[in-house]
Amino acid sequence: MSILQVMNLGLKRYYEVLKLQEELVKKRLENKIPDTLIITEHPPVITFGFNKKWNKMHVSIDELAKRGVEFYYSSRGGGATCLAPGTIVCYTIIDLNERKISIGNYMNLIEKVMLNVFSSYNLKAYIRTGFNPTTQRPYKGVWYFYNEKENKLGAKGVFIKKCNGRDVTMYGFSMYFKKEGLQYFDLIDHCGFKREQVGVISMEDILGYTPNKEDVVKKIVESFKKELNYDFVKNYILKEVACLHTATK
């Protein structure tokens, strides 16, 4: 029986959840825990991906600090991005070998998970065809046409840790459910795009109301379970997560 454990952490600092991810990846490689989906929000933070030429910020790190925005380099794919309250961030600790899926198929499944959730709110989100003019690579993430232009509604970026013939993912995907925090995207070129080339939009902007976060999270878990074909979901409560984090230090 395949199990997906889910950790719904609420609002946590980026670095704190990064350390938790690293600990869980190690345990997953050792087969001590099942696949894990971490769901969280972060105080404002800008992160750079491993491809340096796609990382561009329009203010200094000192200026970010003055604005209360943290900054970190990241090992995930893609370029600069922003995470803030109002963005549901999903970190995935998944053994691809055990699920019998390739990294390419996994990236497609992440997009399908997001599309399922948006569709449940009657949002006609889509996968954008063509190539990013800056990176010369296919467009990534989930998009929505609004105000006469294509806008990013969900993003993705992963890193694969390899050990003893196992490929375990970390990082994952993010979905913009509230417009709160989206103003920080003005500080960067998002994932290699020039600021004038792409918009970022939230479910709240489109729907005209703020969707219930608990409902969105529930739909994410249901969609993830379905698309990756798990038999059972185990939900950790916050106290259990804190104990696990302490035990792995």
Average pLDDT on 10-18 reads 94
Does the pLDDT at position 248 exceed 80? no
The dihedrals phi and psi of 24, each to the nearest 5 degrees, come to -70, -35
Average pLDDT on 182-188 reads 81
Does the pLDDT at position 226 exceed 80? yes
Which one from 82, 90, 163, 191 is the annotated catalytic residue? Answer: 191
The dihedrals phi and psi of 183, each to the nearest 5 degrees, come to -65, -20
**Pairing verdict, β 87-93 and 149-163:** unpaired
Q: Which domain holds residue 37?
A: 3-247
- CATH code: domain of residue 187: 3.30.930.10
Does the pLDDT at position 30 exceed 90? yes
Give the count of domains, the chain: 1
pLDDT tier at 246, thresholds 50, 70, 90 = very low
Nearest of 239, 221, 247 to residue 35 by alpha carbon: 221
- Annotation marks residue 82 as catalytic: no
Gyration radius (Cα) of the chain, Å: 17
Does the pLDDT at position 201 exceed 90? yes
Terminal C-alpha separation, the chain: 29
Does the pLDDT at position 79 exceed 50? yes
User: Of all residues in the chain, what percent carry a pLDDT higher than 70?
Assistant: 84
| Distant-in-sequence, close-in-space partners of 120: CB < 8 Å, separation ≥ 6 | 219
Average pLDDT on 69-87 reads 81
